[in-house]
Structure 1
Amino acid sequence: MHLALKTLLNRVEPMKGFVYEWSRIRPASKARGRGLAAMPTIEIGLRAHESRQGHCSQCQQPAPGYDTLPERRFQFVPLWGMPTWFLYAPRRLACDACGIHVEYLPWALGKRPVTQSFAWFLASWAKLLSWQVVSRRFQTSWESVFRSVEMAVIWGRERLDLTGISALGVDEIYWKKGKFLTLVYQINEGMKRLLFVVEDRQEKSLRQFFVWFGKERSALIEFVCSDMWKPYLNVIARHAPNALNILDRYHIAAKMNKAIDEVRAQETRALKRLTPGTKVILTRSRWCLLKRPENLTENQAIKLKDLLSYNLKSIRAYLLKEEFQMFWEYVSPAWAEKFMDQWCKKVMRSRLEPMKKIARMIRVHKPLILNWFAARDEVSLGAVEGLNNKLKASIRTSYGFRTPKAIKIMLYHKLGALPEPELTHRFC
């Protein structure tokens, strides 16, 4: 078995200057390492090649040996489902340029007890599963998974290709109590990825992105899709002066839904006061009014049909929202603007204060909303919403990361489309 395993390792994990010397299987009762007592463990011993000097870990130059340190264990990719460890006693070298230092170990990651191959193996699985599941499945610590993903993110972010970026999406997300993240996406056709994550949603938050991105690249941005948050609009106007700023239609729809929900809640409370003890027609009608008609369930569609026969404020607000959907179907911006003006006049006469607030907001931001027609054939304006959905799904499966650092690393890893090194062999 040793010969076959040695042949396999030399093919998938060749070690220049080192030799696979022996291998053994330790029974489950004698297995070592955190969380490994339940399974047999493969241990593989390495030694330095007798005819070659070690290389200094600082300057990578050959140097004579000084002494040998105690044996260390490095976790490798599981073989046949069994936890696998490399065992090696590192040498200290007397380097003329750097002094006494531990030799360079091509499989190691500094003082970490995992090999580079295992770290990249864990990072690849962490894109698909939660870090907790990965640590349990491959019998290692959560810390090892976190450090592996962090390594992959640092490596990829240092080599990120930022050429050809002409369209950005800017958004914020609420990720835990009182905490927001500002997100910047690339939304070019053919490349949609997360570029930048920073805490809070203030002007200084988005400004950090443009400092990182650089003035020259910022001047080349043609389109920026954002919501109506004033701090974002101020920073975009200042740092991307050549970009066409488009207000995201999904945020406008979200604000309309919020206004309708407010009208419904107010009217429900009023009806309950008028008819105490009786069932109000608007009970359990929230999603009937907020969902698009094509997304309603059969019961919700029946409920909405019943509601439409009543002269309710909530129904008037719902019909105004549905009428505004026609705005996005116009081809001519001039006709779209005319429709918008007429719709806003109608809303201002509706005596529905939450909807009137939406109309005033649309009037204030009319030029930015109309920019949508200039950009809809150039960039993927729905990409921000799609990426946000993926982001929220990633946060839901993250089992409650409590630090901004952890959440940023996870999001960059899953949504950043980061480059990876060319490895000798990919294990998954």
Structure 2
Amino acid sequence: MKQEKLKFLADNPFYTKRFAFYVGKRCNTQTIKDVAVELHLDWKTVKELEKQYMLEKLRRAGNPGPKVIGIDEISIRKGHRYRIIVSDLERKRVIWFGGKDRSEESMNLFYDELGVHKTRKIRLAVMDMWKAFENAIRCRAPQAAILYDKFHIIKHLNDALDKVRKSEYARLSGKDRKFIKGQKYTLLSHRENLTVEGRKALKILLTANKRLNTAYVLKETFGQLWSYTSEAWARKFFDNWKASLKWQRLKPYEEFAELVERHWDGIAAFCKPENKVPLGFVEGLNNKIRVIQRRAYGLRDEEYLRLKILACMLPDI
């Protein structure tokens, strides 16, 4: 006896596709548990219906053929267990989630799946300064230019600023020390993201500690590097910035400057008009992934996490 599959039914025969998609949309902003309670469903049913919804989103998005890729990694569960995420920065979508770590071997799995023909069409790869990612792209897609991600570079600079904060806290005592305690977030945040109270605290902190004030101003100034459209002018700016460190006794900043020096070509690549990719997508994606991981905390279904990340930037259906 032949059974006919009805197109309007989801893979779960008790529910229509329309209902499955409704459940999937609800899971964009709520946990599986919350949706299950609200709709009086078993949480396993909600999870399976959401998976069907995400698979349909991916099917409609089609197979990737990226020209500009962004490469990043996330830590999963506890410990240093990583998975690699690759995005199409022109179409603003995640196209791959995989690997077993951050190794060159894991990175090559992406190029294997993409295929030789499509890999040869990649013209730009945006990434952090992780050597394994760079080695893989130079080997598999040597025609592609490399651009180091601004957000990762600024993270290194923030780390340098935090080291200065810690050294000042260790050096000082009494009332001079109390201004620094508990002010890590205040010091490392963008000024525009601080509350009125936060800005007041920042002003007091920088007024009270000259060395931290110098480090903070240097950090804020460095961001101007990405405003240049000429590599020569960008180089002149960086040389002047680096020279200004000479008498400041800011060892973490000197180390950061050497890091930039070693990776200069990949940083200065942003000056070229063809490399002006919208990096705001990367920040938005990272924020979404953090939310996904928080909501999926405790779930050990990595395939579910993979689908969530692959589908998170796709339009609803």
Task: Tell me the TM-score normalised to structure 1 length.
Answer: 0.66
CA distance in 1 between counterparts of 2:170 and 2:182 reads 13
Deviation at 1:337, TM superposition (A): 0.8
Q: Cα gap change, 1:108/1:299 in structure 2, threshold over 3 Å: closer, same or farther?
A: closer
Richer in strand (by share): 1
Q: Cα gap change, 1:103/1:133 in structure 2, threshold over 3 Å: closer, same or farther?
A: same
Percent identical residues: 29
**Aligned: 1:195 with 2:95:** yes
CA distance in 1 between counterparts of 2:112 and 2:222 reads 38
- Contiguous gaps of at least 5 residues in structure 2: none
8 A contact 1:271–1:280 mirrored in 2: no
CA distance in 1 between counterparts of 2:29 and 2:220 reads 38
Match of 1:231 among 102, 127, 132: 132
**Aligned: 1:127 with 2:28:** yes
CA distance in 2 between counterparts of 1:416 and 1:204 reads 28
**RMSD, matched Cα:** 2.6
Q: Cα gap change, 1:185/1:375 in structure 2, threshold over 3 Å: closer, same or farther?
A: farther
Deviation at 1:153, TM superposition (A): 3.7
- Spell out, residue by residue over 1:308-359, the C-alpha distance to the aligned partner (whole angstroms, 9 max, x if none): 3345432222122122122122232111111112322333653322212211
Corresponding residue of 2:230: 332
Deviation at 1:184, TM superposition (A): 0.8
Q: Cα gap change, 1:373/1:162 in structure 2, threshold over 3 Å: closer, same or farther?
A: farther
Matches within 5 A, 1:26-175: 93=1, 103-106=3-6, 112=12, 114-117=14-17, 118-157=19-58, 160-162=61-63, 165-175=66-76
**Secondary structure of 2:245's partner?**
helix
8 A contact 1:293–1:301 mirrored in 2: yes
8 A contact 2:125–2:147 mirrored in 1: yes
Corresponding residue of 1:79: none
User: Which 4+ stretches in 1 moved above 6 angstroms?
Assistant: none
**Secondary structure of 2:181's partner?**
coil
Task: Tell me the TM-score normalised to structure 2 length.
Answer: 0.87
Corresponding residue of 1:342: 240
Matches within 5 A, 1:268-279: 268-272=169-173, 275=174
- Contiguous gaps of at least 5 residues in structure 1: 1-92, 94-101, 421-428
Counterpart of 1:352 in structure 2: which amino acid?
Answer: L
Q: Cα gap change, 1:381/1:375 in structure 2, threshold over 3 Å: closer, same or farther?
A: farther
Match of 1:405 among 303, 306, 311: 303
CA distance in 2 between counterparts of 1:205 and 1:286 reads 35
CA distance in 1 between counterparts of 2:168 and 2:205 reads 13
CA distance in 2 between counterparts of 1:186 and 1:349 reads 44
CA distance in 1 between counterparts of 2:119 and 2:293 reads 29
Matches within 5 A, 1:2-13: none
Counterpart of 1:295 in structure 2: which amino acid?
Answer: N
**Secondary structure of 1:308's partner?**
helix
Richer in helix (by share): 2
Match of 2:109 among 186, 208, 211: 208
CA distance in 1 between counterparts of 2:27 and 2:148 reads 34
**Aligned: 1:180 with 2:82:** yes
The answer to which structure, 1 or 2, has the higher relative contact order (CA under 8 A, 6+ apart) is 2
**Matched residues, number:** 313
8 A contact 2:148–2:267 mirrored in 1: yes
Q: Cα gap change, 1:309/1:125 in structure 2, threshold over 3 Å: closer, same or farther?
A: closer
- Spell out, residue by residue over 1:350-408, the C-alpha distance to the aligned partner (whole angstroms, 9 max, x if none): 33222122111100000000001115764212221121112212222334323322211
